Amino acid sequence: MYNDYPKPHEDLRELVDRIDKLGQLVRVPEADPDLELGTLIELVAHRGGEGAPALLFEKLAGDGKGFRVLSGATNSAQRLALTMGFPRPDHPLDAVNSYRERMQTHQPIPPSEVDSGPVLENILREGEIDLTAIPAPRLHELDGGRYLGTDDLVIMQDPDDGWVNIGTYRSMVQGPDRTGLWISPGKQGRQIREKYFAQGKPCPVLISCGHDPLLFLASGNELRWGLSEYDYAGGHRGAPIEVVRSELYGLPMPAAAEFVIEGELHPGETAPEGPFGEFTGYYAGGRSEQPVVRVRRVYHRDNPILTVASPIRPPSNFSYSKCVMKAGMVWDEIERAGLSGVRGVWCHEAGAARMFTVVSIKQAYAGHAKQAALLAASCQSSSYLGRFVVVVDDDIDPTNTFDVLWAMSTRCDPAQDIDLIRGTWSGPLDPRLDRATTTNSRALITAVRPFGREFPAVAEASPELRDRVAAKFAELLDRLPTS
């Protein structure tokens, strides 16, 4: 079974139907892609939180070509489980544990090449392309332009090893056949681009702007060098992703993608890019010269659905799913490194799923908590743009911010239990850094009872007593408002 279904969804459109049947899709009859769409996404994300629905914008003001926009496809526990094929979760850690259980047997499955697919329903070539006619949204008031690529897949092939990398990097429309591509230092796509440039060659690229959200989940996380996101996503799906080769460079694109552009980045060819509201909640990175893609092909389905990620002050329309995926990956890595006693890991939305990570452990020896903090701060999955790692005891729910702050306030002595690591990987999207700096520091906070030392008991009723009293006064308690 794949969630409640006998097999995975075939494409984005089938997944939208499943989300609709789940009762978590709201259809918006029409919205203006200039600020109105992005602001509605923000209002829904901030009012609904984790329970906010997905939005399907069925018409975009000023567009006569049938474009639609999907927001928040995986941004609830239920929708993430639907996309990934997990059992229905009751608690955020249920989804994290489903991910971890999957990874116990996960094997990468390479994509399957097919001769044709829905993405080839329409092909535009040189002289026919006009990206300015596409209703790419301007999401935030201070954005430097309209962004076609936010929930996108940037597909490149390493010129040395031949493996295919997929990353998510923002893409601002720069003209009828030009679009920018901003890639943070250290990211795999940037390393591949620089390999081509060092050889004096253009870097071929595909940018998919509408696709199965499972691929977006894969592209937005730190996988090991050489592991294609196609293979990783196929392993989660339990079946290969179908791909077709592009006309110009033979790069593999999802056969069921909604909208894909093909072109190349040329050494020294840049244009002003940004600013753009980013996932940290700030217009980080400013405006700068960035490489541009010469767009020479556009492939798209009839009435294509553009997928949009709107980075804002958290929570956003994609931050919850990032928290689940990141928490599962960190938990998996620190256990593989030999750490025992882990009871839970959560990457908080307030920290943009990267900057505030909490690990719950059952302490077994002196130094156990510090080991957990060091591993969680330095593993591959949390290596980029982290800030705080907090380790708590196993009686603390790592997803509960109130509980975590209580543990920090009562079990952590700042002079003894907070350590700093300097010179760690960050980048221009870190709002705390100046433009000349690409490293930051990490705070490791061990908010646990001192191991081997007597510590006061928690002042609360035992679970048995709570259950007994709750059962007796159930009618009274049911009348109380819930937080």
Tens digits of residue pLDDT in 352-389: 999 999 999 999 999 999 999 999 999 999 999 999 99
CA-to-CA distance for 449 and 363, rounded, in angstroms? 9
Average pLDDT estimate for 278-296: 94
- Strand (E) or helix (H) holding 403: helix 401-411
Contact 44, 25 (CB under 8 A): no
Q: pLDDT band at residue 222, thresholds of 50, 70 and 90?
A: confident
Q: What percent of the chain has pLDDT above 90?
A: 94
- Indicate whether 418 pLDDT > 70: yes
- Tokens 């510590």 -> residue: 455
The DSSP code sequence of 351-379 is: GTTTSEEEEEE---STTHHHHHHHHHHHS
Residue 339 pLDDT greater than 70, yes or no: yes
Confidence tier at 482 by pLDDT (50, 70, 90) = confident
Q: Is residue 435 pLDDT above 90, yes or no?
A: no
Mean pLDDT confidence for 60-88: 95
* Rounded Cα distance, 426 and 438, in Å: 5
Closest C-alpha to 387, from 344, 346, 342, 420: 420
- In this prediction, residues 84-94 reach a mean pLDDT of 93
pLDDT at residue number 437: 87
Residue with tokens 């994609």: 318
pLDDT tens sequence across 143-179: 999 999 999 999 999 999 999 999 999 999 999 999 9
Backbone angles phi, psi at 158, to 5 degrees: -65, 125
pTM tops 0.75: yes
Listed range (311-315, 434-438, 475-479) with the worst mean pLDDT = 434-438
User: Quick one: which H or E segment has residue 152?
Assistant: none
Q: How far apart are CA 342 and CA 357, in angstroms?
A: 14
Instruction: Enumerate residues 6+ apart whose C-beta is below 8 A from 11.
Output: 118, 212, 256
- State the Cα–Cα distance between residues 442 and 194, nearest whole angstrom: 28
Which of 243, 244, 241, 255 lies closest to 109 in space, CA to CA?
Answer: 241
Helix (H) or strand (E) holding 454: none
**351: region left, alpha or beta (phi > 0 left; psi from -120 to 50 alpha):** alpha
Nearest to 429 by CA among 355, 357, 358: 355
Residue appearing with tokens 């796509």: 189
Quick check: 262 pLDDT over 90?
A: yes
Q: Is the pLDDT of residue 122 over 70?
A: yes
State residue 481's pLDDT score.
87
pLDDT class for 49, splitting at 50, 70, 90?
low
Phi-psi sector, 17: left (phi>0), alpha (psi -120 to 50), beta: alpha
Rg (CA), the chain: 23
The answer to whether 350 and 107 have CB atoms below 8 angstroms apart is no
Q: Express each pLDDT in 399-408 by its tens digit.
A: 999 999 999 9
pLDDT at 244: 98
Q: If we measure between CA atoms, which residue out of 349, 258, 272, 358 comes closest to residue 311?
A: 349
In one letter, which amino acid is 435?
R
Give me the mean pLDDT over the 409-435 stretch: 94
Residue-averaged pLDDT of the chain: 96
Q: Output the pLDDT for position 434.
A: 85
Contact yes or no for 357/375 (Cβ under 8 A):
no
320 touches 279 (CB < 8 A): no
Contacts of 254 (CB under 8 A, 6+ apart): 117, 119, 153, 208, 211, 212, 215, 241, 242, 243, 260
